[in-house]
Amino acid sequence: SSLLDGKVAVISGAASLRGIGMATARLFAEHGATIAILDLDGKAAAEAAALIGPAHRGYACNVTDRAGCQTAVDQVVAELGGVDILINNAGITQPVKTLDIDPASWDRILDVNLRGVLYLSQAAIPAMKTRGGGAIACMSSVSAQRGGGILGGPHYSAAKAGVLGLAKAMAREFGPDNIRVNCVTPGLIQTDINAGKISDDKRVEILAGIPLNRLGDPRDVAGAFLFLASPLSSYITGAVIDVNGGMLIH
């Protein structure tokens, strides 16, 4: 049988067609899940869901809007029957140095990457409880672990490190409800977030630091999310899985 048969999976930031969220949505659907794509543009989210198949849905949701997260999850419960899996994937980055981080940029980066994880989890957890449990996986980054990835600024590192703490605390709090919470920390994955932002010289330099000698593909991260969403990881909570080709071995 399929790993996610009968499960409903909510995935934030999955409308970007070449992104990690969409690759995760496709892989989860291949394994039997029904997908709810949440993204800023509801039409783009619905179109992305339709590309996967007619059973899947897309909803407008800005993860920085608490009421909006609740509305989107309520719609998922009404139309798809419940929520079993939440992938907190939505995120943005900005290449800027410490002394150049202005208050608005700090707020924007922290709000989407960190506050959004709280708000969408707050909306989904009660729905998971009514199903007797669930699995949440959150998007962090190698940037949280090594103090900067390649393109994210210090505020991005701080936000993604915050995700690790928030997820571990939620893992502790909701373990008794049979809700597991884990994180992934990807290295450099080729998506629109970094497309056209890496020169050929920079690319050679980056590859020299990656034992597997290639940049990551969205499906590399989707595979880790599938593991964390499925019963294969039934006794794993509060964990962090590196998906970085060996860029950081610790």
Q: Any catalytic annotation for residue 156?
A: yes
- 87-106 positions binding ligand NAD, by CB under 6 A: 89-93
- The catalytically annotated residue of 59, 119, 156, 235 is 156
Separation between Cα atoms, residue 214 and residue 227, nearest integer Å? 22
Strand order in the sheet with 85-88: 57-60, 34-39, 8-12, 85-88, 134-139, 179-186, 240-243
Q: Alpha-carbon torsion 138, 142, 147, 148, what sign?
A: negative
Count of residues in contact with ligand NAD, rule CB under 6 A: 29
- With respect to ligand NAD, which residue has the nearer C-beta, 125 or 183? 183
Least distance (Å) between residue 110 CB and ligand NAD = 12
- 189-208 positions binding ligand NAD, by CB under 6 A: 189, 191-194
Cα angle 95, 100, 104 (rounded to 5 degrees) comes to: 85
- 32-51 positions binding ligand NAD, by CB under 6 A: 39-40
Question: Which one of 4, 7, 16, 183 is in contact with ligand NAD (CB under 6 A)?
Answer: 16
Contact call for residue 123 and ligand NAD (CB under 6 A): no
Question: Which one of 154, 162, 186, 245 is in contact with ligand NAD (CB under 6 A)?
Answer: 186
Separation between Cα atoms, residue 12 and residue 19, nearest integer Å? 11
Task: Phi first, then psi: give them for residue 193, nearest 5 degrees.
Answer: -65, -25
Contact call for residue 73 and ligand NAD (CB under 6 A): no
Angle between helices 154-174 and 103-110 (to 10 degrees): 30
The residue to which tokens 């940049």 are assigned: 215
Q: Which residues bind ligand NAD (CB under 6 A)?
A: 12-13, 15-16, 19-21, 39-40, 61-64, 89-93, 112, 116, 139, 141, 186, 188-189, 191-194
Would you name the residues annotated as active-site residues?
156
